[in-house]
Structure 1
Amino acid sequence: MRLGVLDVGSNTVHLLVVDAHPGARPLPAHSHKVQLRLAELLDAEGSISTNGIDRLIAVIKEAMLAAEDKGVEEVLPFATSAVREAANAEAVLARVAEETGVNLTVLSGEEEARLTFLAARRWYGWSAGRLLVLDIGGGSLEIAYGLDEVPDIAASLPLGAGRLTSAWLPGDPPDPGDVRALRRHVRAQIARLVGDFSRIGTPDHVVGTSKTFKQLARIAGADRSADGPYTHRKLGIRALENWVPKLAEMPVAQRAGLPGVSDGRAQQLAAGALVAEGAMDLFGVDELEICPWALREGLILRRLDHLPAS
């Protein structure tokens, strides 16, 4: 069957269309993506502005038309931290449902971590052993660890690259004092969780998902995304430590010229790099592998698990 996942995230609204059936890996068929930057469309009270809601509704309508054009039988619509944490979340969801017919499921941060972990586990299989998964989104950082398909521990922190850029790094390039303050903040937040994870044991395999990790790996020398999902892409802590100060000193336009960095993501790459460096350092990760599957694939896999075998 042809399934669609509509992901209303902090940075983008992304429709992923796949051909899938139980027991087989989902095959990507179409991708429709709009950079909405919903997390930046908040007013002083933390509510998504009227203009932001109007734009969100227009983008969702566009995505649903794309799903119809591609013959999608079922769409799984969900929203993450930008909607979850908005002061007017209920009103936003009601207007979206009324004007588009789409009932967005709002995932908790822990649910995001668990679904992303499921996707990584299926990608790497049981031979990966104890798996530690790190995911940097626009609004939050998800961390999950475990041996099975359901992680033993999963957590979410408000350390998304877009959120931190807006709140901590307004300059272009950012002020060195702001960068230093954000570094302290990020590490203090992550350090609170490290003990809970380390008590369970040392991971056998560490993976990073999300656009932030992919771009950091690319500028550190990993192969291009165009080379396909089966190319092994890794990010080492030493290479990352070399790049963090460079990224913090670069204006956005210069970052956008780096390999694999899009114009839309360049602004928040310095903040994302500080989160990646902090997480890898505090969790004692020398090197991680970039996983091509993440939250959207996790939702698809969970849905397929509940379909009857043909």
Structure 2
Amino acid sequence: MKIAAIDVGSNSLHLLISRVLPDHSHEIIYRDKAMVRLGSRAFTRGELTLPTQRRALLALERFAEVIKRFEADVVLGVATSAVREASNGMAFLREVRRRTGLKIDRIPGTEEARLVAVAVASLPSFHRGRHLVVDIGGGSTELAFLEDEEPRLMESLRIGAVRLADAVIVKDRPGKKGLRDYVAAARDQMGAAYRRLRDQKFD
């Protein structure tokens, strides 16, 4: 069986195709990445811009052709922070479905954190124990408390590289007020997450 997975992120789009082996492990047979910055300007405007949507659609059309060529049996797709928060996020996903045939699901931040934790737990180098998994993305940062291989607590913070650039860059130059506001908001979110996670013991 071949499984294709698509991640529509705020900064980049990823395609991974793997073959499931008889022992239920998997072998990666194709990997692709497109830096489209779908979330650029989306966090300040509240919607995905037309240029970023066009870039994303071109990348997803390419992904769809690759998936067809590899004859994937299962196709899984998720969209994260930029699509999740944009007022036209669902309209964009409908256009993706119309143009490419790909069904991409818009997932909540806690589900994104859970999937990150599950992926970490599946790594050959993973050691059982109590861990805090942190994933910093373009539009959000996910935190998950992982006990052995089981995600226990999941948090999603509105902190990310593309979101920071949107908040700070004013007329193509860094703005001090935007940076101050962003840092203050990030501290508030991180403080709240810390209070929810501080009673956990990590290895």
Equivalent position of 1:304 in the other structure: none
- Give structure 1 stretches of 5+ with no counterpart: 205-310
Q: Counterparts of 2:121 and 2:170 in 1: how far apart (Å)? A: 37
Asked if structure 2 preserves the Cα contact closer than 8 Å seen for 1:118 and 1:149, the reply is yes
Task: Give 1:171 deviation, angstroms.
Answer: 8.3
Change (3 A) 1:124 1:187: farther
> Aligned to 2:25, what secondary structure does the other structure show?
coil
Change (3 A) 1:145 1:102: same
Change (3 A) 1:44 1:197: closer
Asked if structure 1 preserves the Cα contact closer than 8 Å seen for 2:159 and 2:186, the reply is yes
Q: Counterparts of 2:52 and 2:170 in 1: how far apart (Å)? A: 21
Change (3 A) 1:175 1:197: same
- Give structure 2 stretches of 5+ with no counterpart: none
User: In structure 2, what residue type is equivalent to 1:74?
Assistant: V
Structure with the largest fraction of helix: 1
Overall identity of the aligned pairs, in %? 33
Residue deviations 1:126-183, cap 9 Å, x none?
8431111000011100001031433221010110111112112558884667655543
RCO higher in 1 or 2 (8 Å CA, sep ≥ 6)? 1
Residue deviations 1:68-90, cap 9 Å, x none?
22343322111111111110122
User: In structure 2, what residue type is equivalent to 1:133?
Assistant: V
Equivalent position of 1:79 in the other structure: 79
Q: Counterparts of 2:73 and 2:28 in 1: how far apart (Å)? A: 15
Greater shift, 57-66 or 16-25, is seen at: 16-25
User: In structure 2, what residue type is equivalent to 1:91?
Assistant: A
Residue deviations 1:82-105, cap 9 Å, x none?
111110122112222122211111
Q: Does 1:98 align with 2:98?
A: yes
User: In structure 2, what residue type is equivalent to 1:99?
Assistant: R
Number of aligned residue pairs: give it. Answer: 203
Equivalent position of 1:27 in the other structure: 27
Q: Does 1:190 align with 2:190?
A: yes
Equivalent position of 1:209 in the other structure: none
User: In structure 2, what residue type is equivalent to 1:8?
Assistant: V
Equivalent position of 1:146 in the other structure: 146
CA RMSD of superposed structures (Å): 2.6
Task: Give 1:43 deviation, angstroms.
Answer: 9.1
In the superposition, the TM-score normalised over structure 2's length comes to 0.86
Q: Counterparts of 2:165 and 2:78 in 1: how far apart (Å)? A: 24
Q: Does 1:202 align with 2:201?
A: yes
Asked if structure 1 preserves the Cα contact closer than 8 Å seen for 2:133 and 2:146, the reply is no
Asked if structure 2 preserves the Cα contact closer than 8 Å seen for 1:144 and 1:153, the reply is yes
In the superposition, the TM-score normalised over structure 1's length comes to 0.59
Q: Counterparts of 2:5 and 2:126 in 1: how far apart (Å)? A: 26
Asked if structure 1 preserves the Cα contact closer than 8 Å seen for 2:21 and 2:27, the reply is no
Asked if structure 2 preserves the Cα contact closer than 8 Å seen for 1:6 and 1:13, the reply is yes
Q: Runs of 4 or more off by more than 4 Å in structure 1? A: 124-127, 169-181
Residue deviations 1:200-240, cap 9 Å, x none?
x2211xxxxxxxxxxxxxxxxxxxxxxxxxxxxxxxxxxxx
Asked if structure 1 preserves the Cα contact closer than 8 Å seen for 2:144 and 2:155, the reply is yes
Structure with the largest fraction of strand: 2
> Aligned to 1:40, what secondary structure does the other structure show?
coil
